[in-house]
Amino acid sequence: MPDTAGSPVDREALVAAGDLLRALAAPVRIAIVLQLLEGDRCVHELVGSLGVTQPLISQHLRVLKAAGVVHGERSGREVMYRLVDDHLSHIVVDAVAHAQEGRS
């Protein structure tokens, strides 16, 4: 299967892409990524801005971290989360924009 540059994409890359997309396939995780686009956030900031319980935010952050989407770094008593890669945010922003276009 060719990629946009015409070179073949190996199966391992396709599996990894599927894993990444599965990790992003939840409204709360999409909202977390959109929040992290604005800058680093700790769990309580995400709870406040998204109106979701702390255990649920933590669970979604674990999924995103395991998928390599976010990175957490301890800062005093809190862990600050950030996006690992700008490419990931483009995937989410484009998906949300596409979904909004379909509703107009």
CA 84/CA 67 separation, integer angstroms: 10
pLDDT at 2: 46
- Closest to 63 (Cα-Cα) out of 92, 101, 25, 89: 25
pLDDT at 55: 98
Helix (H, G, I), strand (E, B) or coil at 64: helix
Averages of pLDDT over each 10 residues, the chain, 104 residues: 66 92 96 97 97 97 96 95 90 92 72
Domain ranges (residues) in the chain: 11-103
CA 89/CA 33 separation, integer angstroms: 7
Tell me which residue has tokens 């939840």.
Answer: 26
Give me the helix-helix angle, 86-103 and 27-37, nearest 10°.
120
- Does the domain at 11-103 match CATH 1.10.10.10? Answer given as yes
